[in-house]
Amino acid sequence: MIRLLTALFTGTFLLGLTSCEQKTLEYKAPNPYRELILDSLAHPWSIAFINEKEAFISEKDRDLLRVNLETKQRYPIQGFPKDLYTPFVINVSEYLPRRYPTSLDGKKIYANAGILDVILHPEFEENNRIFISYVSRIDKTFALKIISARVVNDSLSDIQTLLNPGPYVPGIWHFGGGLCIQNNHLFITVGERLFFEDFKEGLPIAQDITDARGAIYRLNLDGSIPDDSPDLGLGSIPGMYAFGIRAAQGITVRPGTEDIWFSEHGTIQGDEINILQAGANYGWPNITSGTWRSPGYKPDSLENPTYTDPQHYWLQTVAPTGLAFYTGTEFPTWKGNLMVPGLSRGSLWRMVLSGNSIVSAEELFIGEHIRSRKVMQSPDGHLYQLTDEDNGKLFRIINKK
Amino acid sequence: MIRLLTALFTGTFLLGLTSCEQKTLEYKAPNPYRELILDSLAHPWSIAFINEKEAFISEKDRDLLRVNLETKQRYPIQGFPKDLYTPFVINVSEYLPRRYPTSLDGKKIYANAGILDVILHPEFEENNRIFISYVSRIDKTFALKIISARVVNDSLSDIQTLLNPGPYVPGIWHFGGGLCIQNNHLFITVGERLFFEDFKEGLPIAQDITDARGAIYRLNLDGSIPDDSPDLGLGSIPGMYAFGIRAAQGITVRPGTEDIWFSEHGTIQGDEINILQAGANYGWPNITSGTWRSPGYKPDSLENPTYTDPQHYWLQTVAPTGLAFYTGTEFPTWKGNLMVPGLSRGSLWRMVLSGNSIVSAEELFIGEHIRSRKVMQSPDGHLYQLTDEDNGKLFRIINKK
């Protein structure tokens, strides 16, 4: 047996070995450091590893890329449907139906639209098939679209539209678009698309099971509806699996339990981490840990609603995005932790779980804040991070000696 | 040399030994757990360890206790000056000069007054002398007082008043009272005493070097003023060492650098962690990372002020209190971290430093929130925590297997 003896230096300890000559090991506290792998990405949104050296990276404002992480070579994937339009620069006042932040008055900005998530088919090695979410445009109206396609010679082929949750309406925020696969089902987050809550009167969009928005969907990998879909009620949109969700982007499977965890943007605070449950109503906008943007807003509610609580919410605005569970070896004390990037504050959060409870939350990289869109683990367990910047970057997070 | 081989289990890793038979060590991630040591404390404020088994504990609302942590026996220290009055239950509207939170209208509450900090003299073993901060009362007005006294047969003797930063005014909040000793100097935090910023018009109290409040003092251990005191300007209060500080409670010496770190309460957010510097102006209330309670407040300012920035501020209200650096062995990866308790949110924060920068901040014990007043390390390096509750508790924080 190895026995802990004593600690001599800050951040280190010694191991004493009783069964052979004594040796020492300096065990250092985690010292995460961002190693730059790629830059000049156009607001990258997601990354899907083909293997340890190769990945697809979706740039929200330009291309879906196939990237060699060693040679740094980039190959734009051709053949996207014509309803995708990037770079998506808009004049805010032209596209927003009513109020919008006055700070944006008359300005042209990159929309929260373009190419969003990309993930591999479980049999990608055989069929070269991927799933992509992007924002589809018809004139000055928009809706989320999820397609699957085979990648052949860096071009999409055999494109199938799996979900196109309308209606097409103006407004360039909160499309959702998060994708993950569990047990040969495709899960999709669909945002409610509003900036101010009272853009919709009466029953809120996310509470309305006959409106396709503000929900999470579960489909078979060919886009068909699973036979065991939850019964959400009369007139509910086929494939809708849970609802009452404002703007979820990050969705991932927890290794071990195989539960699906997702992040959700609130308005003013109200950012949450949730566990997905079939048929659950997560309460937006009728209940929130944050504050509505519309003062005096009084939403209608369903009759006798049952709302499902989040596993965690912040008391500050974080804007949590593409989250991932860590199972690598580089940070031994982080094993099983949930890593959550943030656009607004806290480039990277590390959440420690006990069962399904989040028992501690560490904000990493304080003082070097960046808008962080996605964290993802490579097949070998290395942790990567994408930044939502004009000069977007891919970092590998290493444990610096 | 010992070489890291691979990880088999969540939260563990294996060590492969090359110079003798291979052995394995399961290294578990920190798993902090609160072990109850004492309860039924009357809003305890601080703890000073005499040795590993014995400590003084100040109860804000009752007694200064000498406690045997093994037998749990408690011995109230007698002989306090008559201007101390506990339990300090007040009728809010009777004591507050103007506005106060309407939720407190007509209510009797425990005041933020009573016995505050207690620390040992560096030669306590020889002279049995301790330092105490408490709130002194004259009719319906109050001021902080710092005394030193010898403890003989569980009674105070040879009491010396070291500082009594007036004026005596109504208002039962923000006395400060934090104490620490560095290099045979006594450091004392003195709060600015206001609840709303505009209770004082013109130059704010904390910016006024001729007003004793809203500052940190440095004295010799006999209460005299050190010869090398910083020159704060004409009419400055003797012993004033830094100013522009709203309501600091926690103050401690960082092992290694010997810098002094202190926590500061903001109003709405604006909670900070600072490093003490001679003569520095920390800016309250003229600059703050939070929001004033008084809308439209326009404070006068000094001419050409130089404000010193905090090392850290939160974007949520934390109400940080009696902080301590951790140098123990029970949590090897926490060595050198700054532990910060919170009254409002986050029972315990763990701050990781790189040089003087706080590079990450972990909120521990999410979901089991308690009002946390003080963390302190015992002589052997065990971590203890006091809770600010009617049934106040002393916990030892252990690394649970």
Instruction: Show residues of chain A in contact with B329, CB under 8 Å.
Output: 4, 6-7, 13
Which residues partner with B363 through β-bridges? A361, B349
| Residue A367 · residue B357 · CB < 8 Å | yes
pLDDT at B106: 65
pLDDT at B368: 85
Whether cis (ω within 30° of 0) applies to the bond prior to A81 is no
ipTM of the complex: 0.86
Q: Which residue of A has its CA nearest to B18?
A: A23
Q: How many residues does chain A have?
A: 401
Give the distance, in angstroms, between the CA of residue B137 and the centroid of all CA atoms in the same chain. 22
Residue B278, CB-side half-sphere exposure with 13 Å CA sphere:
9
**CB-based contact B365 A367, cutoff 8 Å:** no
pLDDT at B94: 62
pLDDT at B171: 81
**CB-based contact B13 A329, cutoff 8 Å:** yes
Average pLDDT, chain B: 89
Residue A214 to residue A212: CA distance in whole angstroms: 7
pLDDT at B180: 98
**CB-based contact A7 B312, cutoff 8 Å:** no
Q: Report pLDDT digits (tens) over B4-16.
A: 323 323 333 334 4
CA-closest candidate to residue B321, choices B116, B181, B170: B116
Going along A28-114, which residue ranges are E strands? 32-41, 44-49, 54-59, 64-68, 74-76, 89-91, 108-110
Q: Which residue of A has its CA nearest to B255?
A: A10
Question: What does pTM read for this prediction?
Answer: 0.89
Q: Report pLDDT digits (tens) over B152-174.
A: 999 999 999 999 999 999 888 89
**CB-based contact A11 B333, cutoff 8 Å:** yes
Instruction: Show residues of chain A in contact with B317, CB under 8 Å.
Output: 315
What are the φ/ψ torsions at residue B201 (nearest 5 degrees)? -90, 165
CA-closest candidate to residue A186, choices A161, A205, A208: A161
Cβ contacts from A onto B, under 8 A? 130
User: How close does chain B come to A274, measured CA to CA in Å?
Assistant: 15
Which member of A2, A13, A352 has the closest CB to residue B23?
A: A2
What are the φ/ψ torsions at residue A162 (nearest 5 degrees)? -95, -35
Residue A119, CB-side half-sphere exposure with 13 Å CA sphere:
25
**CB-based contact A335 B366, cutoff 8 Å:** no
| Residue B177 · residue B192 · CB < 8 Å | no
Task: Identify the residue among A352, A358, A400 best suited for mutation to test binding to B, counting B beta carbons within 10 A and taking the highest.
Answer: A352
Residue A174 to residue B238: CA distance in whole angstroms: 58
Give the distance, in angstroms, between the CA of residue B338 and the centroid of all CA atoms in the same chain. 12
Q: Report pLDDT digits (tens) over B290-347.
A: 889 888 899 999 999 999 999 999 988 899 999 999 999 999 999 999 999 999 877 8
pLDDT at B291: 87
What are the structure tokens assigned to A65, written together?
Answer: 């890329």
Residue B269 to residue B294: CA distance in whole angstroms: 14
Q: Which residue of B has its CA nearest to A325?
A: B10
CA-closest candidate to residue A60, choices A107, A16, A18, A113: A113
What are the φ/ψ torsions at residue A9 (nearest 5 degrees)? -120, 155
**CB-based contact A359 B360, cutoff 8 Å:** no
**CB-based contact B335 A12, cutoff 8 Å:** yes
Q: Which residue of A has its CA nearest to B10?
A: A335
| Residue A343 · residue A322 · CB < 8 Å | no
Instruction: Show residues of chain A in contact with B352, CB under 8 Å.
Output: 29
Question: How many beta carbons lie within 10 A of that of residue A89, not counting itself?
Answer: 11
| Residue B206 · residue B215 · CB < 8 Å | yes
The alpha-carbon radius of gyration of chain B (Å, integer) is 22
**CB-based contact A333 B335, cutoff 8 Å:** no
pLDDT at A172: 83
pLDDT at B15: 42
| Residue A30 · residue A329 · CB < 8 Å | no
Kindly tell me if the per-residue pLDDT of B135 is higher than 60.
Answer: yes
Q: Report pLDDT digits (tens) over B35-86.
A: 999 999 999 999 999 999 999 999 999 999 999 999 999 999 999 999 997 7
pLDDT at B107: 67
CA-closest candidate to residue B133, choices B154, B158, B87, B164: B164
Instruction: Show residues of chain B in contact with A329, CB under 8 Å.
Output: 4, 6-7, 13
Q: Residue A351 corresponds to which amino acid?
A: M
Residue B377 to residue A326: CA distance in whole angstroms: 32
Task: Identify the residue among A2, A21, A309, A368 best suited for mutation to test binding to B, counting B beta carbons within 10 A and taking the highest.
Answer: A2
What are the structure tokens assigned to A289, written together?
Answer: 């840990």
Percent of chain B with pLDDT over 70: 88
Pick out chain A residues at pLDDT < 50. 1-26
| Residue A343 · residue A373 · CB < 8 Å | yes
> Burial of B36 by CB count in 10 Å (0-12 exposed, 13-18 middle, 19+ buried)?
exposed
**CB-based contact B256 A10, cutoff 8 Å:** yes
**CB-based contact A360 B360, cutoff 8 Å:** no
